[in-house]
Amino acid sequence: MRAQFDIKTYTGFRAIALVCLFILYAPLIVVAVYSFNASQSLTNWEGVSLRWYADVFTGPESGKFKQAARNSFIIATVAATVATAIATLAATGMVRGGRFKLRSLSFGLISLPIMVPEIVLAVATLIFFSSIGFDRGIMTILLAHIAFCIPFAYLPIAARMQGIEHSYEQAAQDLYATKRQAFTKILLPLMMPGIISGFLLAFIVSLDDFIITNFVKGAGVETLPTAIFGSVKQGIKPNIMAISTMLLGVSIVMVTISFFVSKADAIR
Amino acid sequence: MSDNERIAVDVRDVVKRYDDFTALRSISLSIADNEYFTLLGPSGCGKTTLLRMIAGFEHVTEGTISLFGDDLENLPPNKRPVNTVFQNYALFPHMTVLENVAFGVEMNGESKTIARQRAGEMLELVQLSQFLARKPNQLSGGQQQRVALARALAPRPKVLLLDEPLSALDLKLRKAMQLELKHLQRETGITFIFVTHDQEEALTMSDRLAVMSAGEIQQLGAPTDIYERPHNMFVADFIGETNLLEVSVDRIAGGRAVCHLRGGHEVICPAVDGIGPGSKVHMSIRPERLWMSKSPEESLSFCGCVKENIFVGTDITTLVVLDDGPDFIVRTSNSDRGNRRLFESGSEVVVNMEPGAARLLAD
């Protein structure tokens, strides 16, 4: 019975799956492979070499990229941490807060920034900062990133929390734990896989953001995406591919962590 | 319950109302120290609500609940010396079995060492010592059940609340756990308040039970009391199987009510308060107090025809269609097969009733 309804037996399943996988991953594979090209050219293959990786760290643009990478990682780490903390509190309030007025509206409002076109958010954030006279610099980038990372951190945390039955906290309180102890000793550890996923998602979204960053960054402050964009404007060189491949590596590490966290999950 | 026994839990005129729904209408009952007390009723009767109010998860709308004389009203769950075994066990999935059982002892102010030691003892009591380091999801349903029990008993509560803890287990395991629970209760001397919808479970395990329906207590008493002398239609019907017959009460004399069935048969049964001459009420006759024969063997007997025999293991249940009046269910012990108490379907039989088997029921 099962084999009969298995989607793998549908006509064209294999072909469609292969096309989808090709479209998704071919560009990434091309970039990753050509980052090891020994040639100056983007398209001619002249053998394996690490010269473009060396170029990223020691070449003429290395100073700019190092500074940009440092900014990006600091911003991503701080923004993801703060956003995750806020999102955890928000999820606790929304999911464990019982019924309150405007609950559905609040749900919508929290996830709205994901739906809004990013350019609108970027313009709005810029106007906001200039209207309160906030000088643009690394702080404006950080604040903007914290704000738009919250919904990304919120979604996995809230989803996780909805899967945790009330009876765990009730059991904890029944067993003489105060409300605070029930939260820190029971609810928080059970939420942890969601919190880690939320943090990783926020981290990647922040690391990767270009549009908002480009609007709110001050002169001379660059993150990796804006630095790459600036460099590409003067012509694409293979060192861009090396940077991109390293960023891809960071993402893969994050996704792998996320996978093992959910696999070690006690509830499932 | 005699007067000199200490009252563990005293529920006085307790009412529970949600927005537009009354879950409990003025419940009063006293549960003695060391008693195995059961709240029995169909789902939605309010038994779990009452249990959750004793635990402190629900507020009391009106009335009071006290524990050994102390009013519980303003105590949060973590300040009440009662522990709960939850229906889904609610074992903490991120902790080991030992950590789960030690949790309550530690939260109650004991040191980690003492908590672990006590947890170890409790797990020994429920025969799970070899699983200390496992996580709950590595245990079978029955083992999880015993961990939940050990966890709730470890802090030595004054009263243990059990919310349908056996409902997820299969029949055989459930029977074994019923005995184990009973032994644990005797061994620990802790008052157990047990909630179930399974009438057989309630009858087997309880010292006393309260049969509840629609937010009210229908009857409160010892299992034999409730089985032999149900007060009303609901209790007679809910507890065990029974034959319910419509009767008219003719007269009452010397504590006996003389009634007649629709078919004209006269039945004499003990009089019941509130049922006077002229009332049209129901009468309950348990199927095991009826037997079949070829010719009448008792003063009260009915002629009928066997419709069906249903084999239920230890017993055989026979459906008999009476010539005049309602159908009867007759239960025959399987060991009576040789005594010719059983008849093929289609046979003409006489159904005899044991004297005193009939009970009048209030509606």
Residue B1 reports pLDDT greater than 50: no
For the domain bounded by B241-361, which CATH number is listed?
2.40.50.140
A181/B contact by beta carbon, under 8 A: yes
Contact between B78 and A177 using a beta-carbon 8 Å cutoff: yes
The architecture in CATH of the region B7-233 reads 3-Layer(aba) Sandwich (3.40)
Mutate to test the interface with B, among A165, A176, A186 (most CBs of B within 10 A): A176
B315-322 sheet: strands from edge to edge: B290-293, B348-353, B301-311, B315-322, B327-333
pLDDT level of residue B332 (50, 70, 90 thresholds): confident
End-to-end Cα, chain A, rounded Å? 27
Q: Name every chain A residue with its beta carbon within 8 A of the beta carbon of B90.
A: 165, 167-168, 170-171
Report chain B's C-alpha Rg in angstroms.
Answer: 24
The complex scores an ipTM of 0.81
pLDDT score for A104: 82
pLDDT score for A6: 80
Task: Please report which residue ranges of chain B form alpha helices under DSSP H.
Answer: 47-55, 97-107, 112-125, 141-153, 171-188, 199-205, 223-228, 233-238
Paired with B27 in beta bridges are: B14
A174/B contact by beta carbon, under 8 A: yes
Of A165, A176, A266, the CB nearest to B107: A176
A-to-B residue pairs, Cβ atoms closer than 8 angstroms: 66
Backbone angles phi, psi at B360, to 5 degrees: -80, 145
Element (H, E) at B270: strand B266-270
Give mean pLDDT, residues B17-33: 91
Q: Name every chain B residue with its beta carbon within 8 A of the beta carbon of A176.
A: 78-79, 104, 107-109, 155
pLDDT score for A268: 54
pLDDT in tens, A118-148: 999 999 999 999 999 888 889 999 999 999 9
- Delimit the domains of chain B by residue range: 7-233, 241-361
pLDDT in tens, B244-258: 888 888 888 888 888
Q: Name every chain B residue with its beta carbon within 8 A of the beta carbon of A177.
A: 78, 103, 107
pLDDT in tens, B126-143: 888 899 999 999 998 889
Q: Name every chain B residue with its beta carbon within 8 A of the beta carbon of A188.
A: none
pLDDT score for B337: 62
A6/B contact by beta carbon, under 8 A: no
Residue A2 reports pLDDT greater than 60: no
pLDDT in tens, B178-219: 888 998 899 889 999 999 999 889 998 899 999 999 999 999
pLDDT in tens, B272-303: 888 888 888 888 989 988 888 888 887 778 88
Contact between A165 and B88 using a beta-carbon 8 Å cutoff: yes
A171/B contact by beta carbon, under 8 A: yes
Which range among A33-37, A93-97, B81-85 shows the weakest confidence by mean pLDDT? A93-97
Q: Do residues B127 and B50 lie in contact, with contact meaning Cβ atoms separated by under 8 Å?
A: no
